[in-house]
Structure 1
Amino acid sequence: MPVSQCNGANLYYEEEGAGRPIVFLHGAWAGLRFFEPQLMNLSDEFQTVALDFRGHGRSEKSEAGHTVPQYARDVRAFLDHQDLDEIVLVGWSLGALVAWEYVDQFGTDGIRGLVNVDMEAAPGPAGNEEAPTYDLDRFRDINRSIQADHLAFIEQTIDVSFKHPPTDDLRTTILDEDSRSPPTVKSAIIIDATLCDYREVLPDIDVPMLVCAGADEKWRSVPVVKRTADLVPEARFELFEESGHSLTVEEPEKFNQVVSDFVKSL
Structure 2
Amino acid sequence: MKTNSSPRRCVRTLILTGSLLLFGALANGPVAAAGYVAGSVPAADGTRIHYVDNGRTGAAPVLVFVPGWGMDHTIWDAQLAAFGEGHRVLAMDPRSQGASQLSGGGNTPEVRASDIEALLTARKLDRVVLIGWSQGVQDVAAYVQRYGTGRIAGLVLVDAAVSRGAGGVAADPQAAQRFLEMMAVYAAHPREYLRGMMGAIFARPLAPAQVDRRVEIALRTPVSTGVAMLVADMYGVDRSGALKKFDRPTLIVAAASSDELAAQKAAAQQVPGARLEVVADAGHGVFVDQPEPFNTALREFLETLRR
TM-score category by the smaller chain? over 0.9
Task: Mark the runs of 5 or more structure 2 residues left unpaired by the alignment.
Answer: 1-37
Q: Secondary structure at the match of 1:201?
A: helix
Residue 251 in structure 1 maps to residue 283 in structure 2: no
Contact 1:97 1:121 in 2 (8 A): yes
TM-score (norm 2): 0.81
Alignment of 1:173-212 (within 5 A): 173-195=213-235, 196-212=237-253
Map of 2:73 onto structure 1? 32
Contact 1:33 1:177 in 2 (8 A): no
Q: Percent identity?
A: 28
Residue 5 in structure 1 maps to residue 46 in structure 2: no
Deviation, 1:228, is 1.6
State the alpha-carbon separation in 2 of the partners of residues 235 and 124 from structure 1: 23
Contact 1:243 1:250 in 2 (8 A): yes
Q: Would you identify which runs of 4 or more consecutive aligned residues in structure 1 move more than 6 Å?
A: none
Q: Which has the higher contact order (CA 8 A, sep 6+)?
A: 2
Aligned length: 263
State the alpha-carbon separation in 1 of the partners of residues 274 and 196 from structure 2: 33
State the alpha-carbon separation in 2 of the partners of residues 172 and 248 from structure 1: 20
**Cα-to-partner distance string for 1:153-208 (whole Å, 9 max, x where unaligned):** 10121122022322334323322322222212201111111123222221231111
Task: Mark the runs of 5 or more structure 1 residues left unpaired by the alignment.
Answer: none
TM-score (norm 1): 0.92
**Equivalent position to 1:122, from 163, 170, 176:** 163
Contact 2:282 2:289 in 1 (8 A): yes
CA RMSD, Structure 1 to Structure 2 (Å): 1.8
Deviation, 1:31, is 1.4
The residue type paired with residue 190 of structure 1 is L
State the alpha-carbon separation in 2 of the partners of residues 34 and 99 from structure 1: 17
**Equivalent position to 1:233, from 259, 263, 272:** 272
State the alpha-carbon separation in 1 of the partners of residues 181 and 200 from structure 2: 15
Map of 1:71 onto structure 2? 112
Higher Cα radius of gyration: 2
**Equivalent position to 1:168, from 196, 208, 215:** 208
State the alpha-carbon separation in 1 of the partners of residues 88 and 131 from structure 2: 13
